[in-house]
Structure 1
Amino acid sequence: MTRKAIIVGAGIGGLAVAVGLRRAGWSVTVLEQAPELQELGAGWSFAPNAVRAADALGVGERFREVSVPTAAGSTLRIPNGDYLMRFQPGRDTPLLANHRADLQRVLADQLPADVVRTGARVTAVDQSGQTASVTYETSAGTRTAEGDLLVGADGIRSAVRRAVWPDAPGPVFQRILCWRGVTEPGFAWPDGGPGGFQTWGRGARFGAHPLTGGRVFWFLTVRQEQPGVRYGDNLAEVRRRVGAWHDPIPALLTATPPTAVLCHDIFDLDPLQTFVNGRVALLGDAAHAMTPFLAQGACQALEDATSLSAELDRASDLPAALVRYDGDRRARTQMVARMARQDPKVSLSTSPLTYGLMTRLTRLVGGGIANRKAARLWEWSPPITSAS
Structure 2
Amino acid sequence: MKIAIVGAGIGGLTAAALLKEQGHEIKVFEKNREIAEAGAGIGIGGNVIDKLGKHDLAKGIKNIGQIIDVMEVLDEKANVLSKAKLKKNTVNLTMTRQGLLDVIKSYVPDSIIYTNHKVKRVDSGALKVELHFAEHQSEAFDLCIGADGLHSHIRSTIAPNSKILYQGYTVFRGLVEDVDIKPDNIAKEYWSSKGRVGIVPLLNNKAYWFISINAKAQDARLKSYGKPHLQARFNHFPNEVRQILDKQSETEILLHDMYDLQPLKTFVYQRVILLGDAAHATTPNMGQGAGQAMEDAIVLANCLGAYPFEEALQKYDKLRVKHTKKVIKKSRKIGKLAQLSNRPLIALRNKIAKLIPNQLVSRQTKFLYKAKSK
TM-score per shorter chain, which class?
over 0.9
Q: Which moved more, 1:26-35 or 1:45-54?
A: 45-54
* Other-structure match for 1:22: 20
Q: How does 1:76-95 map to 2 (within 5 A)?
A: 76-86=73-83, 95=92
Query: For 1:209 and 1:93, how far apart are their aligned partners in 2?
Result: 19
Q: Deviation at 1:202?
A: 2.3
User: CA 1:93–1:279 in 2, change beyond 3 Å: closer, same or farther?
Assistant: closer
Q: Which moved more, 1:209-218 or 1:359-368?
A: 359-368
* Other-structure match for 1:115: 112
Query: For 2:354 and 2:371, how far apart are their aligned partners in 1?
Result: 28
**Structure 2, unaligned runs of 5 or more:** none
Q: Which moved more, 1:154-163 or 1:34-43?
A: 34-43
User: CA 1:89–1:114 in 2, change beyond 3 Å: closer, same or farther?
Assistant: closer
Q: Deviation at 1:366?
A: 4.6
Query: For 1:193 and 1:63, how far apart are their aligned partners in 2?
Result: 18
Query: For 1:306 and 1:193, how far apart are their aligned partners in 2?
Result: 30
Q: Deviation at 1:354?
A: 2.2
* Other-structure match for 1:154: 148
Q: 2:172 aligns with which of 179, 200, 216?
A: 179
Q: Cα deviation per residue 1:328-387 (whole Å; 9 max; x = unaligned)?
A: 11011001111111222222111223211221222222513321202123333534xxxx
CA RMSD after TM alignment? 2.2
Q: Cα deviation per residue 1:162-203 (whole Å; 9 max; x = unaligned)?
A: 11112x2331111111111101x32112x4654531111125
Q: Deviation at 1:90?
A: 9.2
Number of aligned residues: 373
Which secondary structure state, in structure 1, belongs to the residue aligned with residue 356 of structure 2? helix
Query: For 1:203 and 1:319, how far apart are their aligned partners in 2?
Result: 51
Query: For 2:193 and 2:357, how far apart are their aligned partners in 1?
Result: 18
Q: How does 1:56-67 map to 2 (within 5 A)?
A: 58-67=56-65
Query: For 1:89 and 1:321, how far apart are their aligned partners in 2?
Result: 32
Q: Is the 8 A contact 2:85 2:362 kept in 1?
A: no
Q: Deviation at 1:43?
A: 0.5
Q: Is the 8 A contact 1:203 1:349 kept in 2?
A: no
Query: For 2:287 and 2:246, how far apart are their aligned partners in 1?
Result: 25
Q: Does 1:343 align with 2:334?
A: yes
Q: Deviation at 1:67?
A: 0.5
User: CA 1:92–1:265 in 2, change beyond 3 Å: closer, same or farther?
Assistant: farther
Q: Does 1:370 align with 2:367?
A: no
* Other-structure match for 1:33: 31
User: CA 1:39–1:174 in 2, change beyond 3 Å: closer, same or farther?
Assistant: closer
Q: Is the 8 A contact 1:49 1:378 kept in 2?
A: yes
Query: For 2:53 and 2:89, how far apart are their aligned partners in 1?
Result: 22
Query: For 1:203 and 1:93, how far apart are their aligned partners in 2?
Result: 35
Query: For 2:325 and 2:122, how far apart are their aligned partners in 1?
Result: 25
Which secondary structure state, in structure 2, belongs to the residue aligned with residue 274 of structure 1? coil
Query: For 1:148 and 1:364, how far apart are their aligned partners in 2?
Result: 55
Which secondary structure state, in structure 2, belongs to the residue aligned with residue 81 of structure 1? coil
User: CA 1:225–1:267 in 2, change beyond 3 Å: closer, same or farther?
Assistant: same
Q: Which moved more, 1:227-236 or 1:277-286?
A: 227-236
Q: Deviation at 1:128?
A: 3.4
Give the letter for the 2:132 counterpart.
T
User: CA 1:337–1:160 in 2, change beyond 3 Å: closer, same or farther?
Assistant: same
Question: TM-score when scaled to structure 1?
Answer: 0.90
Q: Is the 8 A contact 2:125 2:271 kept in 1?
A: no
Q: Is the 8 A contact 1:19 1:57 kept in 2?
A: no
Q: Is the 8 A contact 1:84 1:366 kept in 2?
A: no
User: CA 1:233–1:203 in 2, change beyond 3 Å: closer, same or farther?
Assistant: closer
Q: Deviation at 1:228?
A: 4.2
Q: 2:274 aligns with which of 263, 275, 282?
A: 282
User: CA 1:93–1:251 in 2, change beyond 3 Å: closer, same or farther?
Assistant: farther
Q: Deviation at 1:240?
A: 2.5
* Other-structure match for 1:386: none
Give the letter for the 1:312 counterpart.
L
User: CA 1:289–1:186 in 2, change beyond 3 Å: closer, same or farther?
Assistant: same
Query: For 1:180 and 1:372, how far apart are their aligned partners in 2?
Result: 28
Q: Cα deviation per residue 1:42-90 (whole Å; 9 max; x = unaligned)?
A: 111122112223436541000101110135x522211112222346699
Q: Is the 8 A contact 1:173 1:267 kept in 2?
A: yes
Q: Is the 8 A contact 1:173 1:227 kept in 2?
A: no
Q: Does 1:312 align with 2:310?
A: no
Query: For 1:143 and 1:98, how far apart are their aligned partners in 2?
Result: 38
Query: For 1:94 and 1:236, how far apart are their aligned partners in 2?
Result: 37
Query: For 2:175 and 2:372, how far apart are their aligned partners in 1?
Result: 32
Question: TM-score when scaled to structure 2?
Answer: 0.93
Which secondary structure state, in structure 1, belongs to the residue aligned with residue 76 of structure 2? coil
**Structure 1, unaligned runs of 5 or more:** 384-388
* Other-structure match for 1:144: 138
**Stretches (4+) displaced over 4 A:** 86-94
Q: Deviation at 1:25?
A: 1.9
Give the letter for the 1:291 counterpart.
T
Query: For 1:308 and 1:322, how far apart are their aligned partners in 2?
Result: 8
Q: Does 1:299 align with 2:307?
A: no
Give the letter for the 1:66 counterpart.
I
Q: Does 1:252 align with 2:244?
A: yes
Q: Is the 8 A contact 1:7 1:31 kept in 2?
A: yes
